[in-house]
Amino acid sequence: MTGSPRLVRRTVPDPLPDLGDLHPVLRRLYAARRVTSPAELEYGLANLLPWQSLKGIDAAVALLVQALEKQQRVLVVGDFDVDGATSTALAIQALRMLGLEQVDYLVPNRFRYGYGLTPAIVEVAAERRPDLIITVDNGISSLQGVEAANAAGFDVLITDHHLAGDTLPPAAAIVNPNQPGDEFPSKALPGVGVIFYVMLALRATLREQGWFDAANREEPNLAVLLDLVALGTVADVVPFDYNNRILVAQGLARIRAGHGRPGITALLEAGGRDPARLVSSDLGFCVAPRLNAAGRLDDMSLGIECLLSPDPATARELANRLDRLNRERRDIEDDMRREAMALVRDMQLDDEGLPVGLCLFDENWHEGVVGIVASRLKDRLHRPVIAFARTGDNGEIKGSARSVRGLHIRDALDAVAARHPGLITRFGGHAMAAGLSLPADHYADFAAAFDAEVRRHLAESDLHGVLLTDGGLPEDEFELATAESIRNAGPWGQGFEEPLFDGKFELVNRRVVGDRHLKLTLRTLVTGRLVDAIAFHTHDRDWPPETQYIEAAYRLDVNEFRGQRSLQLIIQHIQPL
C-alpha cells in the first residue's frame, strides 16, 4: 500500500567533540545529537532554567499567595490526557504541601464537554463555588470560558503550553512559554512542566516572605513531584531539549530508587516493568497508555486518583482497573484500524488516488480512540491524517490530527479556517498533533480544503517515511555491555531519539510468535556472530521463501528471561534483500 521508509543516517561531526570518558559508541551517538560538551550531559537540578523569565509568573504567584493567605477555595481544571492528568495531580499535591486546605480538581468529560475551560465547564465549576480556577495543560484558547468565569466572579490562572491564538483569554494571569512576548528559553516545556515551574516560583516567594517560618511549617521538597513531571513530559512527546532531559532524568532516578509514587509503580507492575530498571520508553509505552485509556474510554479522574493515591494497595486496585480499560481500548483500536484501512483501500481505487492530507470518518468510531488510529495510519501511510468520530447529538464531529515532518498541523488548520470561514468550529494543538470540531455536514468540504492546504506544503516526494539511523554498529559492539550502556545513557525521547542502527544480516531462522510478531535469528556478515531479534507487529507472508539476507533498522535491547539477560535486537524496519 505504501513504499518502505527511506533510511537516512545522521551526520556525525568530524572530529568528534570532547565529551569526556564515554563509551566510544556513546560518544558518536551524542555527537550526532549535537551534544558539544560534557556539561550538556549533566542532569542535576541546579542546571534547570530559572523560572523568573516566564511571562506572567509574578501575577500567577500573587494569585496563589493570596489563595494561601486567605485559604480560598481553588479548583484545578485539567485535561483528559496524560500531560493533563499529571499536571492536575501535581497542582493538587503541591498546593496541599504548601498549606492550601481547600483544593479540588475537575476534568471535563471529553464525551460531554470537550476540551478546555468551556462555558459549560464553568457552570459545573460554579457548583463548587471556587475563588480561583487554575487551568493546567489547557486554557490558552478558552476565551469564552474565561469570560464566563469572570462574569461569575472567579479569578482564572491559566497554565498551558499550547500555541496561543491571535487573542489571549482575559485571565487574571497566564503562564505559557509559548505565549507572545515570553522569553523563557525552552518552548518545549509540557503542561506538567509549566505547573511545576509555577509551584517552584510560589515556594520561592513564600520562602522570601517568611511563610513557612511564620506558620512553623516545614518547607516542602518539591522534587518528590518529579516522577509526575517525567511521566507527563514523556507521554506528551515534547522535544527532549536539555531542560526537559533534566526533568525526565530526575524523575526516572526517583522511581528507580524506590521513591516514585505508588500509582506509577503500580502501573509499571501492571505492564510487567521493573521500576528499578526503568527507562523513559517504559513511561511512554507502559504507563502512559494505561492512564490514557481512562480519558479515552471513561473518565480521567480514575487516572488522577491513581496518581494521587498514597496507599499502594489502593493504587494497585486502580492500576488494575486502568489496565483492563487499556485492553478494551486496544480491542476497539484494532477494529477501527481495520475499518480505516478498508476506507483507504476504497480511496485508492478512485482515479485520483489517496489524498495527500487524508481525512477519514465513520459514524460508529469511538471518539476517544480516533487519535491513536490517526497516529497509526500516519505512520503507515507517511502523510498527515485526521480521523473523525461523531460527538453526541449536536450534529458535530470531532477530529484528531497527526502530522509528518514538513507540515505544522496546527498552522495548517489555521490556514484552512482563514481561507474558509465557518468551516471549522474550533481547533488547537501543536506542530505534530491537533484536535478540531466541525459540523458533520461540513466534512466533505473540510476534507477537500485540508488536502488542498497540505498539498501547498508537501510534495509527492515528501510522502515516504524517513527513518533517521545512527548508521552501522561495529560487529565487536554487538555486546550486552553496549546495550546496557545505551539503555542507561538516556533519557532518550522526541528530538533526542533512542539510538537506531542499520545493517545487513543473514537470516538464519524466522518464526511468528504471538500471532503478530516475528522472532528472528540473524548472523552478522563479517564475524558470523548469531544475534536474536524480534520485529513487533510484523509478518513475512510477502517474503520469498528463499529469503537469505535482510536489511534492518534496529535498536539494541536487553532481554530478560528466567533470570538470564542477553542481547536482543528490536527491529523497527525490515525488508528482504
Helices (H), 467-507: 480-488
pLDDT higher than 80, residue 196: yes
Helix (H) or strand (E) holding 566: strand 564-576
DSSP structure class, residue 496: B
Q: What are phi and psi of 434, to 5 degrees?
A: -155, 165
If pLDDT is split at 50, 70 and 90, which confidence band does 230 have? very high
DSSP string, 367-408: TTTHHHHHHHHHHHHTS-EEEEEEETTTTEEEEEEE--TT--
Q: What are phi and psi of 553, to 5 degrees?
A: -110, 130
247, part of any domain: no
330, part of any domain: no
If pLDDT is split at 50, 70 and 90, which confidence band does 1 have? very low
* Pick from 48, 98, 69, 67: nearest CA to 220: 98
Q: Do 265 and 314 touch, CB atoms closer than 8 A?
A: no
Confidence (pLDDT) at 34: 94
> How does the average pLDDT of the chain come out, rounded?
92
Three-class secondary structure of residue 342 per DSSP: helix
Residues 6+ apart with CB under 8 A from 249: 43, 230, 490, 491
Rounded alpha-carbon distances, angstroms, from residue 311 to 97, 193, 263, 286, 315 = 17, 25, 8, 21, 6
Please report, rounded to a whole number, the percentage of residues in the chain having pLDDT higher than 90: 75
333, part of any domain: no
The C-alpha atoms of residue 572 and residue 466 are separated, in whole angstroms, by 12
248, part of any domain: no
If pLDDT is split at 50, 70 and 90, which confidence band does 350 have? low
Instruction: Indicate which CATH number applies to the domain containing 523.
Output: 2.40.50.460
pLDDT higher than 80, residue 516: no
If pLDDT is split at 50, 70 and 90, which confidence band does 541 have? confident
Confidence (pLDDT) at 431: 82
Q: 52 and 181 share a domain?
A: yes
Three-class secondary structure of residue 319 per DSSP: helix
**The C-alpha cell of 210 is what?**
517568611
Q: 408 and 552 share a domain?
A: no
By CB atoms closer than 10 A (0-12, 13-18, 19+), residue 150 is: middle
* Averaged pLDDT, 140-154: 95
Q: 474 and 420 share a domain?
A: no
Q: Do 333 and 372 touch, CB atoms closer than 8 A?
A: yes
Helix (H) or strand (E) holding 418: helix 409-419
Q: 68 and 169 share a domain?
A: yes
Sign, CA torsion 554/560/562/565? positive
* Averaged pLDDT, 162-168: 89
- At which of 204, 220, 236 does a domain end? 220
Sheet holding 103-106, edge to edge: 103-106, 74-77, 132-136, 155-159, 173-175
417, part of any domain: yes
8, part of any domain: no
Q: 517 and 368 share a domain?
A: no
310, part of any domain: no
418, part of any domain: yes
pLDDT digits (tens, 9 = 90+) for 422-449: 999 988 877 888 899 999 999 999 999 9
- At which of 169, 191, 220 does a domain end? 220
* Averaged pLDDT, 234-262: 96
**The C-alpha cell of 367 is what?**
471518539
* Averaged pLDDT, 470-474: 94
Q: Do 363 and 386 touch, CB atoms closer than 8 A?
A: no
Q: 499 and 453 share a domain?
A: no
The number of angstroms, rounded, from the C-alpha of 107 to the middle of its chain's C-alpha atoms is 18
Domain that includes residue 475, residue range: 467-576
pTM, full prediction = 0.89
Residue 217, Cβ neighbours under 10 Å: how many?
13
Q: 559 and 451 share a domain?
A: no
Least confident of 342-351, 360-369, 451-460: 342-351
Q: How many separate domains does the chain show?
A: 3
The number of angstroms, rounded, from the C-alpha of 464 to the middle of its chain's C-alpha atoms is 23
Confidence (pLDDT) at 198: 98
The C-alpha atoms of residue 534 and residue 521 are separated, in whole angstroms, by 9
- Whether residue 275 is preceded by a cis peptide bond, meaning omega within 30 degrees of 0, is no
Confidence (pLDDT) at 461: 76
pLDDT digits (tens, 9 = 90+) for 356-395: 999 999 999 998 899 889 998 998 889 999 999 998 777 8
Question: What Rg, from alpha-carbon coordinates, does the chain have?
Answer: 24
The C-alpha atoms of residue 273 and residue 271 are separated, in whole angstroms, by 6
Confidence (pLDDT) at 421: 94
Q: Do 252 and 284 touch, CB atoms closer than 8 A?
A: no
**The C-alpha cell of 414 is what?**
489555521
Q: 389 and 507 share a domain?
A: no
- At which of 430, 462, 494 does a domain end? 462
Residue 41, Cβ neighbours under 10 Å: how many?
16
The C-alpha atoms of residue 304 and residue 106 are separated, in whole angstroms, by 10
Instruction: Indicate which CATH number applies to the domain containing 135.
Output: 3.90.1640.30
* Pick from 220, 213, 235: nearest CA to 295: 235
The C-alpha atoms of residue 113 and residue 502 are separated, in whole angstroms, by 47
Confidence (pLDDT) at 287: 96
